[in-house]
């Protein structure tokens, strides 16, 4: 697994993948408060599991 992926994705104790939403770093003044609230939550990244780890049972 690449190091860049390990810095962006966290594996929970139940082996779920969690990632942060993108575009949170700068240019926040023109975004609405609804967008900013949505981006503060972490999101599920289980769709990446097969691409990163191969077969479903290899995590």
Does the residue 58 lie in any domain?
Answer: no
Residue 21 is given by DSSP the state: P
Query: pTM score, two decimals?
Result: 0.58
Burial grade of 57 (CB within 10 A; 0-12, 13-18, 19 or more): exposed
Does the residue 35 lie in any domain?
Answer: yes
Instruction: Please report where in the chains the tokens 């990446």 appear, as a residue.
Output: 48
Instruction: Give the pLDDT band (50/70/90) at residue 21.
Output: confident
Query: Does pLDDT of 10 surpass 80?
Result: yes
β-strands 42-44, 9-11: how paired? Answer: unpaired
Domain count, the chain: 1
- Give dist(CA 51, CA 28) in Å, integer: 31
Instruction: Give the pLDDT band (50/70/90) at residue 9.
Output: confident
Higher per-residue confidence, 48 vs 13: 13
Residues linked to residue 1 through DSSP beta bridges, in sequence order: none
Query: Does pLDDT of 52 surpass 90?
Result: no
Q: Where in the sequence is the domain holding 39, given as residue range(s)?
A: 3-53
Does the residue 59 lie in any domain?
Answer: no
């Amino acid at each position: 697994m690449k190091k860049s992926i390990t810095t962006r994705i966290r594996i929970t104790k139940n082996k779920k993948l969690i990632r942060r939403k993108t575009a949170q770093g700068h240019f926040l003044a023109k975004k609405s408060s609804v967008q900013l609230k949505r981006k503060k939550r972490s999101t599920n990244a289980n769709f990446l599991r097969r691409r990163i780890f191969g077969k479903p049972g290899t995590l």
